[in-house]
Amino acid sequence: MSKLLLILLDGVPYANWRRLFGNLEGWVASGEAQVWKMRSVLPSTSGTCYASIHTGLPPQVHGIWGNATRRRLEFPDVFSEVTKAGLKTGAVTHSFWSEFFNRYPFDLVEDMEYDAPDGPITHGRFHTMTGDSGYNQMTPADVDLFATLTMLCERKGIDYGILHTCTLDSMGHRFFHDCEEMDDACYRMDEALASFLARWRTAGYEVIVTADHGQDARGHHGGTTDLQRDFALYYFGPAQGPAGNVVLDQLALAPTILTRLGVAVPKTMNHPPFLTA
């Protein structure tokens, strides 16, 4: 049985992954990581993609049409299936994830941080970005989020953990992606992530680093273009993925995670895993 961490950097288009994340690309070049292109569901909106990432279901089934549609989802998901199998889960994410997979609505006092042995999220640490605007994106420091996930790994012994940060998505909406500001932001994210990634690997975790969707030249997503939908997925671990220039389906991510953890895949997740032992 493996342990696995999913690192979700919100809103990074495929080209910026491949040209600006030098540490991740260096591990690909050295053979320590594999990388593919993945395509999001439609609409390529954040909340919609979050729901699909963990349920393996398209929006036309789970019914999350955008960021304004929020409720506790009624379908099997990665958290519920992992804890059902007797394993521990952890989440260091935007509060959307707590609402979709723990309870709705999000209570700022009760739900910001909790430890719930019966799950589905065993150890939750959340943020909200309340009051964000074009002048102040209200995102936490990414290194603080990486450190919090590491704490859950080392103190709580989680088997599966997810980290989700909106920093690059928010900056992309503000500055668009072909600019000095985004070059610098991606460089800093890559450097901050690298030291923690090495620590997670030493602790025995397989790691997936990816996004929920891309962004186009005007900082938009939600629609159908490749820029809005396509992003990179990096995998650190012993399994093998498909060869060649394949485009992975976002709906295959949930069953892939469960398979790597040795957890039974529910019938609602009908896309085959893309990683094999």
pLDDT of residue 128: 97
Angle at alpha carbon of residue 121, lines to 115 and 127, rounded to 5°: 75
pLDDT of residue 190: 98
**Residue 268 domain-assigned?**
no
Task: Please identify every stretch of the chain with a pLDDT value under 50, giving residue numbers as ranges.
Answer: none
pLDDT of residue 266: 98
| Dist CA 239 CA 97 (whole Å) | 27
**Residue 214 domain-assigned?**
yes
Compute the chain's Rg from CA coordinates: 17
Continuous segment of H or E residues that includes residue 173: helix 167-175
Tokens of 277: 């032992």
As a whole number of Å, the end-to-end CA separation of the chain is 11
| Dist CA 222 CA 119 (whole Å) | 31
144: three-class secondary structure by DSSP: helix
| Dist CA 75 CA 254 (whole Å) | 12
Burial class (CB in 10 A: 0-12, 13-18, 19+), 189: buried
Please answer whether residues 165 and 91 qualify as being in contact, where contact means their C-beta atoms are separated by less than 8 angstroms.
Answer: no
pLDDT of residue 48: 98
**Residue 118 domain-assigned?**
yes
What's the total number of domains in the chain?
1
**Residue 9 domain-assigned?**
yes
Where residue 189 sits, what CATH number does that domain have? 3.40.720.10
Whole-angstrom CA distances from 276 to 124, 160, 200, 260 are 29, 18, 21, 8
Residue 4: phi and psi, rounded to 5, are -145, 140
pLDDT tens, position by position, 48-76: 999 999 999 999 999 999 999 999 999 99
pLDDT of residue 204: 98
| Dist CA 51 CA 62 (whole Å) | 7
| Dist CA 90 CA 4 (whole Å) | 11
| Dist CA 220 CA 148 (whole Å) | 30
pLDDT of residue 71: 98
Which of 252, 261, 158 is closest to 200 using CA atoms? Answer: 158
| Dist CA 94 CA 57 (whole Å) | 20
**Residue 265 domain-assigned?**
no
**Residue 199 domain-assigned?**
yes
**Residue 277 domain-assigned?**
no
**Residue 96 domain-assigned?**
yes
Domain limits for position 190: 3-260
pLDDT tens, position by position, 155-205: 999 999 999 999 999 999 999 989 999 999 999 999 999 999 999 999 999
Tokens of 223: 């629609």
